[in-house]
Amino acid sequence: MDTLRNAGTALVRRPGPHLTDGIVTHIPRRPVDAGLAARQHQAYVAALRSAGWRVREVPAARDDPYPDGVFVEDAVVVCDDVAVLARSGEARRRGETAGAERAVRDLGLRIERIKAPGTLDGGDVLRAGDTVYVGRGERTNEEGVCQLARLLGGRRVVPVGTSGCLHLKSAMTALPDGTLIGVPDHVDTSALPGLRVAPEPAGAHVVVLAPDHVLLSASAPRTARRLAADGLRVTSVDISEFEAREGCVTCLSVLVPPTTP
């Protein structure tokens, strides 16, 4: 276990009662088993705790009217001591930031926000070392990228064009050493240094739990084997009911490292 070695905070939000009504854009819609989704989310949270992350729930309104609220990553971007509240290009999701704001304020983070006409989803923002890659696509526009770059002050921000996917992190993420891994068909690789091709689409979604420990979806077994062969400890979780709503392992949490106040 990585307990006590880490002690960062993981923000999560329970799946609400309307998950089955979530927005689907690039995949066929199928029914979602709410009971199974709840159990899968509990197992996901348990994996975070087992890796040493303190879990804090993002509060939701009564009867949680936001079907996609469980994908808490989209509501806020945390970088060092700054929390940037997103403004989704999908207007139906903008109300999700209220709960996220309360959670990051409780952590003592400085609050900033994306303002109109800018749009940005947290799922389009990927930190890899000192570089921040930001996807330009369906949910995040050029103005949103520019605002984020100003708010992150001094960080190297690299815009990346996306196509055929919901977010940048639907197509690529980063390994603990900063190496990018993903599906090159969905991103402008001219902006990316040496993108490592994932053996399967779900293998593009990696959550870094510790310098030697990553979290993957159970639907990416070949990627898991390859990363394990590289010497990484791999934890796999079944998130099939969230994948049915275009979610992935990165979408279900916001990790605030222990170095952040």
Residues with catalytic function: 167, 251
Q: Are 88 and 139 in contact (CB under 8 A)?
A: yes
Eight-state DSSP code of residue 25: S
Q: Which two tokens stand for residue 252?
A: 């279900």
The single-letter DSSP state of residue 89 is S
According to DSSP, the residues that pair with 79 across neighbouring strands are: 82
Query: 235: which strand partners?
Result: 215
The set of residues, in sequence order, having a beta carbon less than 8 Å from that of 19 and lying 6+ positions away, is 32, 34, 37, 67, 70, 241, 245
Q: In degrees rounded to 5, what are phi and psi of residue 237?
A: -130, 145
Place of tokens 């001591």: 81
Is-contact 15 70, C-beta < 8 A? yes
